Amino acid sequence: MPFSIGKSFNNKTNLLIIGNWTLIHNFASLIDFIERLELKTYIDLNIAGNILNKDAELIIRKYKFRDNLSIKILGFVKNISYLKEKCNFAIACANYGSGIPIKTLEIINDSNVFKYKPIISNYCKNSLRGLLKLDKIDVYPIEGPIDVFKST
């Protein structure tokens, strides 16, 4: 069932993804998310965090040519509160790695304060199982299109 966008800015859906994109498995997860993202509405995608290198930035920028998608590569952002205030959804897109993806804890914890909807990968959900109550957290599918307006 679709859930409410909540905040609306110029008929855009604002997504925020925070991470360390210098780690190759995080970068691969980010690219996987962008490639599978369904664009049923105009999406303004803000990517915060250090990027691996200029080549990695070029890889991300090639997705700017998709209809209904605006990508902003912000790099490291010292005070990320303003981005959290304007986003509709914050995404934890990690699909690989060891341990708990720390940014997942951050976006879930801050969702009540900033009033956005957290959406996490199945990997993130599994890494937090037993630590948090996750029955109300939306998880995007392991494969196939990702529609941020539907939970799995």
For 2-111, list the strands marked E by DSSP. 12-18, 42-48, 69-75, 89-92
List beta partners, residue 139.
120
Average pLDDT estimate for 95-110: 89
Is 147 contained in some domain? no
122-123-125 Cα angle (round to 5): 60
Is 146 contained in some domain? no
Count the domains in the chain.
1
Task: Identify the helix (H) or strand (E) that includes residue 29.
Answer: helix 24-36
pLDDT tens digit sequence for 11-69: 789 999 999 999 999 999 999 999 999 998 899 999 999 998 999 999 999 998 888 99
Closest CA to 20 of 83, 88, 97: 97
Is 3 contained in some domain? no
Is 4 contained in some domain? no
What residue numbers bound the domain in which 54 lies?
A: 12-139
CATH code, 45:
3.40.50.2000
Q: Distances in Å between the alpha carbon of 7 and those of 25, 43, 85, 114?
A: 31, 13, 9, 10
Is 124 contained in some domain? yes
Closest CA to 147 of 34, 17, 39: 39
